A and B are shown apart, each in its own frame.
Chain A
Amino acid sequence: MPGTKNILLNKKNSVLLKFLIGAAALLFFLAILNFFNAGIKNVFYILSSPIEKTFWSAGESASGFLSSLSNAGFLSKENESLKNENQKLLSEIVYLQAITNANQAQSEASLACQNASFEMLMAGVVGSDSQDMLSINKGSNDGILEGMPVINQQNVLFGKIFKVYKNFSEVMLISNKNSVINVEIQQSDATKPEIEGVVKGKGGLDIYLDLIPIDDTISQNDVLITSALEGTFPKNLLVGKIVKVEKNDQNPHQQAEVQPFFNISADNLFVITNYKK
């Protein structure tokens, strides 16, 4: 009997030993892999980007087709061009208001016009993951650095460069849960005091406005633009539009649901390469 017990114990020990060796080997293998993390991801990007781009375009066309079917009577292209035009007009309003303000204070002129002097690098969107990140086809080989702002041609803010690889980069969208940006409410009357707050990412392509003092008046359809306070993004980039204001007496600040202006289906984006922090 003691012999049988010993055999059983030995068998148990041998299974445990096998498990421990296996676990150690796996952890060692994964640790080694992480030494080459950037290289491995870059190789996979190079291999996958043509297929990914094809699926990205196919998805874009298919979703456009389906949305045009579901919105009978509306042409999706017309809708898209109207959206673009709207964003362009909003961008012009922001620009013109900035110029108006510049007449009042000479020092603001440089800020208002600074977007025109930015060096921008066009990058194609090739994919996204579910954590509110986008992959673009420009990397350190093209001069991309972490933290660079990413916008579209209508001056709509998408986010900033989060991670740079040799041939591609990951863009953290403003809807990412780690994203916090300083914004101001666009005022139609230049004499009114500026209202500043922060836009935080909620995940799932959603954002919200926070830290607006309870006494300030904000309302639906107010447009949010970047304030350049934190120095990551230039001033006057379009962020979003207030959908619903949420006031709570127990909270010294008011919040608001915001509809972001960025559209995940964008084909090309622009990276601002010379904005100094």
Chain B
Amino acid sequence: MWLKAIAIIFLFYFFAILQNSFFIHFNLFGAVPDLVFTLFLLLIFFAGKKINYTILFYALVSGLFLDIFSYTYLGVSVILLIAIGYLAKKTQLSLSERGDKYPFVYFVSLFIVSFAVYSLFLGLFFYFMGLAPSPIDFSLEFLFKIIYSLFLASILFWIYKKFMGGATDNRQLPLFKR
């Protein structure tokens, strides 16, 4: 359990560094993929059903790394990710179960909506703190950011499903005791 938690912390940390250094040189019209958010949603999507504390843990770690590597206050992303994580999981569970427990189309839809909601609320926060001139900014950069992040999220989705898919849900060791 602890090993898995530590591995996840390091993975989030690695992704945060990667998106703030390596991927800056591969920006698409100024847009850089949000790897930390992508990993967060991926882990939530493939987690089991009763994962309240797990969502809290993922949101805390990923949110803190997102805030540390940006110029905002610590905790803004944590709160947003907790809310988004729970809502995304609830939505996923409310969708009818098919033969495939983790359909790609569910993931893509959830990713786009969650990412838009996250960006919207983060934009609102920046606006009210006087850090952005306008509250809502659905610019071309934002569009490219979603597309870029979604592209990488899709790759990660297939990798996760292929190599870890069998270990999800019931057969997976829980991160926290249920």
Contact = CB atoms under 8 A, between A and B. Distances in A.
Contacts of A253: none
Contacts of A275: none
Contacts of B133: 177-178
A127 B69 contact: yes
Contacts of B69: 44, 127, 129
Interface stretch (A3-11, A106-114, A184-192, A203-211): A203-211
B158 interface: no
Contacts of B27: 204-205, 264
A203 B34 contact: no
B146 interface: no
Interface residues of A, number: 42
A63 B25 contact: yes
A30 B78 contact: yes
A257 interface: no
Contacts of A132: 30
Interface string A132-176: 110100000000000000000000000000110000001000010
Contacts, number: 106
Interface of A: 26, 30-31, 33-34, 37, 40-41, 44, 48, 51-53, 55-56, 58-60, 62-63, 126-133, 135, 162-163, 170, 175, 177-178, 202-206, 264-265
A34 B75 contact: yes
A162 B72 CA distance: 12
A162 B22 CA distance: 22
Given A33-B64, A44-B69, A204-B27, 7 more contacts: A37-B74, A44-B68, A62-B25, A130-B31, A203-B141, A204-B144, A265-B25
